[in-house]
Each structure stands twice: as C-alpha cells, then as structure tokens.
Structure 1
C-alpha cells in the first residue's frame, strides 16, 4: 500500500485515536508525552465513548465532532467508533493535513492473540492503514490491584523509540508499506513477535434484568478472575442474557501473549489480509476437486 503522507518540515504530524474514549487515561498520557517532547504536531480524533467494538463503522447516519481542549494538541471528540475516528482524521475533512503517523491507544488491557479481532484499538490503526497512512496500535497489560494510572505515562515513554524509529524510516522512505504495528506493554525490553491464538472463552447466562453485569474494561483479559461481564440491553419484555468467562485458551507458541506474560514489550506486525494456515491450504487443495466432482444432492 502506497504511503499517502510525506513528512516535511521540522515536526512530524501524529494523530492519536483510541478505543476507551477521548477522556481515557491511556490516550491522555500518550498525548502528554508526545507533546512534551516538542517533536510532533499532535492531533487527536477519538471517540466520545466505545470499547471493544472491533472494526465497526458508522454508515447510515452522520457522526458529530466536537472540539475539546487537550493541552498542546488539536483535539476532537467524535460520536463514532475508533475506525470512524481514524478514517475521519486522515481524510483532510476534519484536519487540513494528512498525519504522517496514526497511533491508536493506549488501551487499558492488552490486545494479543485472537483478541486482536475484537479490538477497537487495533481497528483504529488498521483503518488508518486501509487509507495508506502508517499506524501503530498500543495497549497496556493492565492488572487490577497492581497497575496504576502512572503506568500509562511510563508505557508512552517506552514507545517513543518505536514511534521515532518509524518516523525516521518514513522520512527516509525505507519503511515497509504492507503492515502496521501492534504493540503491547509492560516495560521490560522489546520483542518482535507474531500474533498468537490465545483467547478468553466466553459464554452466556440468563439474568433477570439488564442491570446485572458490567462493561468489559479490557479487550484482552489475561486473568480469568479479573474479567468482567458485558451485558446486552434489551426491552423489558424480552429475555436478558449476560456474557461470562468460561475458561481460557493459552497459546504457548513463540507469540505475542507468551512474551507479554514474560514482561516484554511485544511488537507484532499485522496485515489487513489474514491468510489461512499452510496445513489448511494443503488439505483444501486436495479436498476441493473431490467435492466439485461429486454430483449435487439435488441430482441424486
């Protein structure tokens, strides 16, 4: 994919979006760190709410953008999803220029393995990538009772070498154009990883009202005990069902989740197209001809 931006002048333009909302502590910490370096023109285009919405987009009605005050940045709160915000922010409709780099985060909770599919944080970066703008999604492996709000600032500072490195490569026209980066932290060295298959297994239970349950704070919850329940809301005359944790599938292969649990800052290149694993391709290459050569059931 051809890069739509060309870095010029002394400062690169970085746009920040997220999944936790424009008042999210991870976003505010990231913006503060970016502004405090005096190296970037910082734009913010982030949802006024939302969490764990994957790559949903608003199609049938307009979205509203309201200018808000964040020190050192030009910022808008948008009544849309992270993907909406990324698309609007790089369109030259809201801002007069296309950013050199889009950063989505910092999310409260990690985004590893299969949970990347659910992640609105990753979707914000992916949407920028769809539009030819280099992007990074950043998530912090929040641990209840242990992590605190200052960790977001530490995480943002730990990501500066990656952000600066990407911008240098873009300036030199040597940055690969066929992927965007997904970064998960704590702060104990950097590790290039691949997307794994870890996932929290979810089920449903019937409840008596829509007041039972709560909002999932993290897209990827590493501890079953810390996972919260997300409840659907329906009219009073209907049945009510709430999500609940039923177990976990942990991928022990050489992947993002494993190294995150070992304390590394994981850097995982992602693409838009998800290719099936090679063994599936091998099997189906032999299977498909045998299927299409059989008579259809209606002909039997």
Structure 2
C-alpha cells in the first residue's frame, strides 16, 4: 500500500509527525509520502490555489524513497491534489488527513481543512480518512486507536463518495471508553466578531470562537466525545438534498408548463 498523509496544521505539527512515525511500522506498507502546508492553514476548507504557482519542497527531515516529506505553499486541498494528481509520479492508494489538533465535529466539517484534505482525496478516487484529536495533548491516544482502525479497514465497504471523519477525546488511552459510530451534531452560531484597533488606530476584526453544541443528542459526534468515546462519522461527498429535489422538480415543471 502507498499512503499519502496531509493535514491543515502544517507539516511540522506534532499530530501529523506522530502519525507518520507510527505508520512506518505497518505491514504491507510500500511507501508513505507526507505533503502538508508550510504553515497553519486551519479552516481553509476546500480552497485550491489557482492564480499562483505551488512549490512542493522536501523538508529537512526527508528520509528516503520509501518515507518522504514535503511542504507546500498552499492549502490542504492543494497538497492532496498535488499528491494524487501527478506531482509524485505515482498514485497513492489511500489518503489520511491528520492528526488534527482540535475537534472537527458538527458544522466544523464545512470549514475544516483537515476534512477538506480527505474529501479531495475522495474526489480524486482514493479511500480517505480524516482524524482529529479534540485537544492538543494526547496524540498518542489518537495514534493508538487510529492504528487499530487502520488495521481493520479491509473489513469496511465504504461507498465511493464517502469518507470517515474520526474524532478522538483528548484523554489518556486507558480513559477512552470505546468507539461509537455517529452522525454530525450541530453548533450554535459562532461567537460575535471581536473588533479592535491596531497600533496605528485602524480597525481590525477577529473571527469569534465557534459556537457551543446546539444538537448534541446521544447519536451525535459531540455526545460521543463528551462522554469519552471516539466518534466515527461517515460523510458523503454528494451534497444534493434529495428530499427537496423532488419537490423542486415538481415546482420547476409547473413553471415550464
């Protein structure tokens, strides 16, 4: 198997480096390539860089032809697009995005560069997984459980337009209670914009923190993580609202009559 690893925290982030090191020992691993942004690109979503050239440069800790690392002056989606669509000279078999520092649950997936890297892999025909630690301490816990999931992936029959979005509580391994398969919860609206003046007296604005959970019912990712469980949520790439589709078709037919 040939793996492509990416994230939105940057190639230097502890989450991706911990995962990269752990995956080296997996059996049947032919090669593994890390391609990640050269700086933190959190909340970049699915943006692509179209008006400027991208530079994919080897990092100072590049090892050999089997395990390689690159950083890119672009977004997480750029990184995966380069890795799958020709920059490596070969096709990876799977895309893994993470381990992200911070949760990607509920509405977060709309903005998340971590989830976007995985969806880009799926857009380009590769099985893809996004994994996040709901904090920034216990990356060993996220890695431990990811390796268990990864070892059993052959048992899954994922649809061609789905990815797995995994969120791990920021707890020691022994305090994590297990795994729950969940749906996305929903957050309240973000906190208000924070407005200030810069040192020259000009106005500046900061995007406010994400809202707290509005829908954290028992079957949601929020509830699972809050109660010490790993959340695994399958996400569909097809955003079509099929429930509304038929009523719109009837409405449009009347307009055409």
> What is the TM-score when the length of structure 1 is the normalising length?
0.73
Question: Are 2:217 and 1:259 aligned?
Answer: no
Please state how far the C-alpha of 1:252 moved relative to its aligned partner: 2.5
Which of 67, 81, 100 aligns to 1:87? It is: 81
CA-based RMSD of the aligned residues comes to 2.7
Question: Are 2:190 and 1:201 aligned?
Answer: yes
Q: Secondary structure at the match of 1:44?
A: strand
Q: How does 1:57-76 map to 2 (within 5 A)?
A: 57-68=48-59, 69-70=61-62, 73-76=67-70
- Between the aligned partners of 2:162 and 2:210, the Cα distance in structure 1 is 33
Deviations 1:70-120 (A, max 9, x none): 557211111110000011011232x23211111000000010101100100
- Structure 1 291/91 Cα, relative in aligned 2: closer, same or farther at 3 Å? same
Task: Tell whether the 8 Å contact from 2:191 to 2:211 is kept in structure 1 after alignment.
Answer: yes
- Structure 1 79/115 Cα, relative in aligned 2: closer, same or farther at 3 Å? same
- 2:33 aligns to what? 43
- 2:241 aligns to what? 276
- Highest Rg: 1 or 2? 1
Which of 106, 119, 126 aligns to 1:126? It is: 119
- 1:107 aligns to what? 100
Task: Tell whether the 8 Å contact from 1:200 to 1:245 is kept in structure 2 after alignment.
Answer: no
Q: What is the aligned length?
A: 244
Q: Which runs of 5+ in 1 are unaligned?
A: 1-11, 212-235, 294-300
Which of 15, 26, 29 aligns to 1:26? It is: 15
Task: Tell whether the 8 Å contact from 1:134 to 1:180 is kept in structure 2 after alignment.
Answer: yes
- 2:172 aligns to what? none
Q: How does 1:139-178 map to 2 (within 5 A)?
A: 139-142=132-135, 148=137, 151-166=138-153, 168-169=154-155, 174-178=157-161
Deviations 1:99-142 (A, max 9, x none): 11110000000101011001000000000000001100000000
Q: Which runs of 5+ in 2 are unaligned?
A: 170-175
Q: How does 1:203-222 map to 2 (within 5 A)?
A: 203-209=192-198
Deviations 1:185-243 (A, max 9, x none): 0243111111222255232132111x7xxxxxxxxxxxxxxxxxxxxxxxx68532222
Deviations 1:244-292 (A, max 9, x none): 34853421332111111111111111111224384x568x559947995
Q: Secondary structure at the match of 1:56?
A: coil
Q: Secondary structure at the match of 1:84?
A: helix
- Between the aligned partners of 1:47 and 1:247, the Cα distance in structure 2 is 27
- Structure 1 245/74 Cα, relative in aligned 2: closer, same or farther at 3 Å? closer
> What is the TM-score when the length of structure 2 is the normalising length?
0.84
Task: Tell whether the 8 Å contact from 1:113 to 1:257 is kept in structure 2 after alignment.
Answer: yes
Task: Tell whether the 8 Å contact from 1:22 to 1:47 is kept in structure 2 after alignment.
Answer: yes
Moved more, 248-257 or 76-85: 248-257
Task: Tell whether the 8 Å contact from 1:33 to 1:153 is kept in structure 2 after alignment.
Answer: no
- Between the aligned partners of 1:291 and 1:202, the Cα distance in structure 2 is 42
Task: Tell whether the 8 Å contact from 2:95 to 2:128 is kept in structure 1 after alignment.
Answer: yes
- Between the aligned partners of 1:161 and 1:245, the Cα distance in structure 2 is 33
